[in-house]
Amino acid sequence: MSKKPAAHVPRKRFGQNFLRDEGVISHIVSAIHPQPADHLVEIGPGQGALTDSLVSSGAQLDVIELDRNLVPGLLAAFSVHRNFKLHSADALTFDFSSLVAANEQLRVVGNLPYNISTPLIFKLLENAGIIRDMHFMLQLEVVQRLAARPGSKHWGRLGIMTQYHCEVEHLFDVPPEAFDPPPKVQSAIVRLSPWREPKWPGCKEETLRKVVQAAFAQRRKTLRNNLKGLIDVTRLESLGIDPGARAETLELQQFIEMANSTDD
């Protein structure tokens, strides 16, 4: 096993809460089940709580760390492993395709700060074709939004666009006391597995994004109001969709049908 990086004071600027609970760490690693043939990418390794088990699996491991203060400790602890490579970079601007060899897919892992979780997930969805799966520690509310179903208060743009690209599994919750410092919110582990074949071939994805964003622009308003200028009432009715309904009541398939019916 690798030695642990030296102690580091968590920095609010980066939303750092370091995982400490060995039982939770073991549970996460079991869910990921890394294999020697895998190519893993860990976003925000922090002090290496997960890194130790991931690199010890024998898998190729690239880690992306934004906080330069953590880099020396990570290199000291893990650079002895030939299958380990550290990138001192911002995951939001990092080129994930640069890591991929021919016919290879990445397995992405990360304990994501709340302030970057949504934009980072959208960025990774754009790269879904080179990703086999993603395992993330996120604020519980974000996981609930990712895994939401129609009719739920959590159903919205994040869940719809993620489920368009991936199977979403809410694996288990993680209590605040598993971290140092303990966050003020509950956390959870989610698995996102991109569909191997397009589930909705021919869907106009860019238009789907526009329709979903407009439909949820003001959650309390009806589709008639939110989609004005994008899809008219007659077209909604022709699709069997009630213009007086709210966006949160619609299935993903109905959003796809609306997107495909536009003239864009």
Find the CATH number of the domain harbouring 209: 1.10.8.100
Verify that 121 and 32 share a domain, yes or no. yes
Is 81 a residue whose pLDDT tops 90?
A: yes
The pTM of the full predicted model, rounded to 2 decimals, is: 0.90
Q: Are residues 85 and 144 in the same domain?
A: yes
Element (DSSP H or E) covering residue 63: strand 60-65
pLDDT tens, position by position, 18-59: 788 899 999 999 999 999 999 999 999 988 989 999 999 999
Instruction: Tell me which of 171, 194, 217 is where a domain ends.
Output: 194
How many domains does the chain fold into?
2
Question: Do both 179 and 213 map to the same domain?
Answer: no
Question: In whole angstroms, how far apart are CA 44 and each of 74, 84, 99, 116, 237?
Answer: 11, 14, 16, 11, 47
Is residue 3 one of the residues assigned to a domain? no
Q: Are residues 21 and 126 in the same domain?
A: yes
In a domain, 106, yes or no: yes
**DSSP-derived secondary structure letter, 13:** G
In the three-class reduction of DSSP (H, G, I as helix; E, B as strand; rest coil), residue 54 is classed as: helix
Mean pLDDT in residue range 106-120: 92
pLDDT digits (tens, 9 = 90+) for 125-173: 999 999 999 999 999 999 999 999 999 999 999 999 999 999 999 999 9
Mark whether 145 and 255 lie in a shared domain: no
Instruction: Give 250's pLDDT tier (boundaries 50, 70, 90).
Output: very high
- Using an 8 Å Cβ cutoff, are 226 and 217 in contact? yes
Q: What is the pLDDT of residue 147?
A: 98
Q: Which amino acid is at 111?
A: N
Q: Is residue 175 part of a domain?
A: yes
Asked whether residue 161 falls in the same domain as residue 243, the answer is: no
Please check whether residue 7 lies inside any domain of the structure: no
| Spatial distance between the Cα atoms of 66 and 43, rounded to a whole number of angstroms | 9
Nearest to 91, CA basis, from 58, 59, 124, 68:
124
Are residues 219 and 242 located together in one domain of the fold?
yes
d(CA 135, CA 148): 17
Q: Could you tell me if 90 and 154 lie in one domain?
A: yes
Q: Is residue 60 part of a domain?
A: yes
Q: What is the mean pLDDT of residues 98-114?
A: 92
95 shares a domain with 37:
yes
Buried b (16+ CB within 10 A) or exposed e, 19-30: bebeebbeebbe
Domain stop point among 194, 228, 249: 194
Range of the domain at 16: 12-194
Q: Are strands 39-43 and 60-65 parallel, antiparallel or unpaired?
A: parallel
Measured at the CA of 147, the angle between CA 257 and CA 196, to 5 degrees, comes to: 65
Instruction: Specify the pairing of strand 18-19 against strand 179-180.
Output: antiparallel
Sheet containing 166-174: give its strands across: 84-88, 60-65, 39-43, 106-111, 131-139, 187-194, 166-174
251 and 127 inside one domain: no
Asked if residue 103 and residue 56 are part of one domain, the reply reads yes
Q: Is residue 199 part of a domain?
A: no
Residues 213 and 244 in one domain: yes
